[in-house]
């Protein structure tokens, strides 16, 4: 079935800096989608502070870990103006997405309901920790498999008129 999370808010402030990570270090000058595509399943990606503009989804594989590394209260940002998903978790069973900001997934009537998601596409036992999902046309997280776990994350300002199910709807005021 289709699992959809409409909203979840568990915010702890302020964020503590995440300054260490053991794995494949990725920097804003690199193409995150390509780095992930050319790495074996089970890789830990240490995503250093900055903005990562992606034009196609980052494919998440089994047991991958995407971990933000930063020194201040801002998180590394994975953003798009072109991709219908930012992280495609279809093969990401057991994966973890941690300490990132994910925003900008695009879409409309032509691709709903599977597009416009910050994180989505299937996968089971996905863990999302200390992530801010915002400004995605459909959902912050949607279409994941069983075992989704969201911890200390913000999911806000996602969705748009074309995904609301209210297309061409009329409303009557109640008295």
Could you read off the pLDDT tens digit of each residue along the chain, which spans 175 residues?
444 444 444 433 444 556 789 999 999 999 999 999 999 999 999 999 999 999 999 999 999 999 999 999 889 999 999 999 999 999 999 999 999 999 999 998 888 888 999 999 999 999 999 999 999 999 999 988 899 999 999 999 998 877 766 545 444 444 4
Q: Is the peptide bond before 121 cis (omega within 30 degrees of 0)?
A: no
Q: Are 109 and 167 in contact (CB under 8 A)?
A: yes
Distance CA 88, CA 78 (A): 13
Distance CA 104, CA 81 (A): 6
Is the pTM here over 0.95, yes or no?
no
Nearest to 95 by CA among 48, 55, 148: 148
Backbone CA torsion sign across 39, 40, 45, 51: positive
Q: Where are the alpha helices (DSSP H) in 3-154?
A: 32-37
Q: Are strands 85-88 and 58-59 parallel, antiparallel or unpaired?
A: parallel
Nearest to 103 by CA among 146, 144, 134, 58: 134
């Amino acid at each position: 079935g289709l699992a959809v999370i409409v909203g979840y808010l568990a915010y702890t402030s302020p964020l503590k800096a995440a300054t260490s990570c053991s794995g494949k270090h990725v920097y804003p000058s690199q193409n995150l989608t390509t780095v992930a595509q050319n790495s074996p399943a089970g890789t830990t990606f240490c995503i250093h502070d900055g903005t990562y503009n992606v034009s196609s989804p980052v494919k998440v594989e089994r047991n991958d870990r995407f971990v933000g590394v930063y020194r201040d209260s801002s998180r590394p940002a994975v953003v798009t103006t072109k991709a219908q998903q930012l992280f495609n978790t279809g093969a990401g069973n057991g994966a973890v997405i941690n300490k990132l900001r994910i925003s900008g997934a695009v879409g409309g009537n032509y691709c709903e309901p599977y597009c416009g998601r910050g994180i989505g596409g299937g996968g089971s036992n996905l863990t999302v920790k200390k992530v801010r999902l915002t400004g995605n046309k459909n959902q912050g997280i949607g279409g994941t498999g069983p075992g989704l776990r969201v911890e200390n994350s913000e999911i806000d300002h996602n969705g748009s008129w074309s995904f609301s199910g209210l297309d061409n709807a009329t409303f009557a005021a109640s008295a």
